[in-house]
Amino acid sequence: MNNLKTIYILLVFCLISCKKSTELKTEKITLNKTEIDTSKRYQRINIPYYENGELVGENEAYVSKKKDTFWNTWLFYKKGVIDSSKSKFFDFNITGNKKDSILKGKISIYSPADSIPKSKISSREITLVFLQKENDSIIVKEIKSEKSTFEFDYKNFENYGFEGFVMDLRFIKIDSNSEKLLLNRNYFALDTKLSTNNVYVELLE
């Protein structure tokens, strides 16, 4: 148990070392779209997979200028419906008025671990980390939750953009050994722009 706590602490330490009304949602881009900002370090692309003309899978990836790829989400479909037993993804948006000093963010996280009975979960911690503008400075903001869906306050950063990541850790009980826990972890980079300099992508790769 002490070893697991140590691993957990190290993981967190490494990752953290139009109307006037505006709604920001993560944009999607496909491989055949070329309208991107090449001055940015990463491009977010959406890659669909088809079988006999039917959509069976979809991945989001961050591609660097060096063509390195970080796979961010995995979606599998059955007859046009997301197969939650295999898929790992999130819903994310920011809403508010341009004149408001505080905007509202909301995120929902999904993974195959959602099917694990609550009685088997010893503990769970979701950590959202993002860049936040405070006066003339940029700071790192951290929010913790135990729920798959939660809301948070957010201040404008770089023309209503958002750069951050979310980490979901679940410690699962092992029937055969009550003194040990299995760690299930999921990480997602978060952006509202297709072209980004998100500093957390490299840490998550």
Tell me: the pLDDT tens digits for 138-173? Answer: 899 999 999 999 999 988 766 657 899 999 999 999
Q: Give the pLDDT of residue 137.
A: 83
3-state helix, strand, coil in the chain (%, to 5): 15, 55, 30
Q: What is the pTM of this model?
A: 0.79
Q: Give the pLDDT of residue 98.
A: 66
Question: Are 155 and 96 contacting, i.e. CB atoms less than 8 angstroms apart?
Answer: no
Question: Are 48 and 57 contacting, i.e. CB atoms less than 8 angstroms apart?
Answer: yes
Which of 70, 37, 74, 71 shows the shortest CA–CA distance to 161? 37
Q: Are strands 149-154 and 103-110 parallel, antiparallel or unpaired?
A: antiparallel
Give the integer Cα–Cα distance in Å for 197 and 9: 26
